[in-house]
């Protein structure tokens, strides 16, 4: 089965043989008047002009790309998409300027999602998360990372990771699974945090590994959550068990999380709003990817965004993600994140598209299959109703997706799931 997309006004390939950093982030490999040929589930040919004609076959599908921008399927490299309940009741607290850590200490925030997630059955969690995945897909996202961390006991953490596995099987969006038992200290361990850390290291990590339920481990390294020393212990244990590591680092206060990410050679450090210069340098020196989450900065009303310009200048590879979660970034739309990356992080359109495609693919360890439009890569492709890449970011607050192709098949048409 062959599909050809021809006469594409703006074909954004994001091609590259390595992760993009520094000035390379500003090159998205754009081809004007381009074409893409898809055979089965992968890209068979691409180029510019009339070159597609030699691939025309009777019975094949031909899509006209006039007036369209075509990109690789978007990759959301940081989400908490599996959870019970919702937290709109926190809005008045936010407006009364009660801080995130204070809401957490009052038993709200993460801990109220933990209560709802523990109570929910696996089927309930699957069906709630599948609705969010539908929204992601219709907004152009074809692969996501999904973290556990609303269970905070062994049974519930394993349940969340099994939800990831089930969604990966049953939904067109691909799921990369991350174990995040170290998302918060659960209430019942409030006065014995050491016992909870031992539970993570001695019971949860071995079980996650035994059942092969995750590729990554993440730890929330932040004032009032897990300290630098605790994070180091947890992530070293995960590494020793053969899991790759990520950190939530320096989201609100700089505690040296970015420096630790460099020291541990983590795949990525995420948030980084308060990262120090030394931390950013440590990340650059160790090729740690910065996964930036500008809608979270917006939603927390921090009045401050991560210093993306400094990171790019220092050569830190930057990716962007939604942080889709019930408290601090309840959105499924990477298009929204792209707008905030432009106006909050002051990133340029080509930097932004690289950050939600090729660099995001590296952040989830799938760079060999996805993240750019290149021959032999998977045909995960989005066709946007935008005449060029700048337009896609300039026109905001609406869904610009026309067609989404996943594994070579059209799964979204006119912005609606088929
Ligand atoms: Zn997060």
pLDDT in the model for residue 106: 67
What is the CA(171)–ligand 1 centre distance, in A?
22
pLDDT in the model for residue 103: 77
Rounded CA-CA distance 216/194 in Å is 22
Instruction: Please state whether beta strands 2-12 and 30-39 pair in parallel, antiparallel, or not at all (unpaired).
Output: antiparallel
Contact 112, 85 (CB under 8 A): yes
**Under 8 Å CB-to-CB from 238, ≥6 apart: which residues?**
179, 205, 217, 245
pLDDT tens digits, 381-411: 999 999 999 999 999 999 999 999 999 999 9
Instruction: Answer yes or no: is pLDDT of 318 > 80.
Output: yes
What is the CA(180)–ligand 1 centre distance, in A?
10
What is the CA(330)–ligand 1 centre distance, in A?
11
What is the CA(378)–ligand 1 centre distance, in A?
27
- For the ranges 155-159, 300-304, 379-383, 410-414, the lowest mean pLDDT is seen at 300-304
Instruction: Answer yes or no: is pLDDT of 30 > 70.
Output: yes
What is the CA(315)–ligand 1 centre distance, in A?
23
Rounded CA-CA distance 316/305 in Å is 16
Q: What's the mean pLDDT when you consider all of the chain?
A: 96
Mean pLDDT value of segment 8-18: 97
Rounded CA-CA distance 125/344 in Å is 33
pLDDT tens digits, 68-121: 999 999 999 999 999 999 998 888 888 887 777 777 776 678 889 999 999 999
pLDDT in the model for residue 123: 97
What is the CA(268)–ligand 1 centre distance, in A?
12
pLDDT in the model for residue 121: 97
What phi, psi does 269 have (nearest 5°)? -125, 140
What is the CA(248)–ligand 1 centre distance, in A?
7
Instruction: Answer yes or no: is pLDDT of 275 > 80.
Output: yes
What is the CA(226)–ligand 1 centre distance, in A?
14
pLDDT in the model for residue 89: 84
What is the CA(37)–ligand 1 centre distance, in A?
37
pLDDT in the model for residue 97: 78
Taking alpha carbons only, the member of 109, 217, 243 closest to residue 157 is 217
pLDDT tens digits, 165-209: 999 999 999 999 999 999 999 989 999 999 999 999 999 999 999
What is the CA(289)–ligand 1 centre distance, in A?
15
What is the CA(202)–ligand 1 centre distance, in A?
24
pLDDT tens digits, 297-314: 999 888 999 999 999 999
**Under 8 Å CB-to-CB from 219, ≥6 apart: which residues?**
180, 182, 226, 230, 231, 234, 235, 245, 246, 247, 248
Angle at 242 between CA 75 and CA 281, to 5 degrees: 60
What is the CA(80)–ligand 1 centre distance, in A?
6
What is the CA(41)–ligand 1 centre distance, in A?
31
What is the CA(53)–ligand 1 centre distance, in A?
46
What is the CA(324)–ligand 1 centre distance, in A?
8
* Between 247 and 252, the higher pLDDT residue: 247
Half-sphere exposure of 386 (CA within 13 A, CB side): 23
**Residue 248, beta-bridge partner list:** 220, 270
The band of 233, judged by pLDDT with boundaries at 50, 70 and 90, is very high
Rounded percentage of the chain residues whose pLDDT exceeds 90: 91
pLDDT tens digits, 35-77: 999 999 999 999 999 999 999 999 999 999 999 999 999 999 9
Rounded percentage of the chain residues whose pLDDT exceeds 70: 99
The region, left, alpha or beta by phi > 0 then psi within -120 to 50, assigned to residue 254 is beta
What is the CA(296)–ligand 1 centre distance, in A?
9
């Amino acid at each position: 089965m062959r599909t050809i997309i021809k006469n594409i006004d703006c074909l954004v390939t994001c091609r590259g043989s390595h992760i993009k950093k520094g000035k390379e982030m500003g090159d998205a490999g754009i081809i004007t008047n381009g074409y893409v040929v898809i055979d089965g589930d992968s890209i068979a040919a691409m180029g510019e002009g009339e070159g597609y004609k030699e691939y025309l076959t009777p019975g094949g599908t031909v899509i006209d790309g006039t007036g369209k921008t075509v990109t690789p399927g978007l990759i959301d490299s940081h989400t908490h998409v599996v959870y019970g309940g919702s937290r709109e009741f926190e809005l008045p607290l936010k407006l009364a300027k009660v801080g995130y850590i204070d809401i957490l200490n009052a038993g709200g925030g993460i801990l109220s999602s933990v209560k709802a997630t523990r109570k929910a059955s696996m089927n309930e969690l699957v069906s709630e998360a599948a609705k969010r995945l539908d929204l992601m897909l219709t907004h152009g996202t074809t692969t996501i990372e999904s973290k556990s961390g609303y269970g905070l006991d062994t049974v519930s953490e394993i349940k969340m990771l099994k939800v990831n596995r089930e969604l990966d099987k049953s939904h067109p969006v691909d799921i990369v699974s991350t174990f995040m038992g170290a998302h918060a200290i659960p209430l019942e361990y409030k006065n014995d945090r050491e016992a909870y850390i031992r539970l993570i290291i001695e019971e949860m990590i071995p079980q996650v590994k035994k059942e092969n339920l995750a590729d990554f481990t993440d730890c929330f390294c932040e004032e009032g959550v897990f300290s630098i020393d605790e994070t180091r212990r947890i992530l070293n244990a995960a590494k020793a068990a053969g899991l790759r590591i990520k950190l939530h680092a320096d989201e609100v206060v700089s505690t040296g999380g970015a420096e630790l990410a460099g020291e541990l050679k983590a795949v990525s450090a995420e948030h980084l709003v308060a990262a120090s210069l030394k931390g950013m340098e440590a990340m650059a020196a160790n090729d740690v990817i910065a996964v930036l989450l500008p809608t979270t900065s917006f939603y927390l009303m921090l009045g401050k965004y991560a210093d993306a310009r400094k990171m790019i200048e220092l050569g830190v590879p930057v990716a962007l993600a939604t942080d889709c979660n019930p408290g601090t970034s309840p959105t499924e739309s990477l298009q929204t994140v792209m707008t905030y990356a432009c106006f909050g992080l002051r990133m340029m359109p080509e930097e932004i598209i690289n950050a939600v495609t090729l660099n995001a693919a590296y952040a989830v360890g799938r760079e060999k299959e996805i993240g750019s439009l290149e021959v032999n890569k998977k045909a995960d492709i989005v066709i946007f109703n935008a005449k060029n890449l700048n337009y896609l970011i300039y026109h905001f607050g609406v869904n610009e997706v026309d067609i989404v192709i996943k594994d070579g098949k059209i799964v979204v048409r006119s912005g609606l799931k088929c």
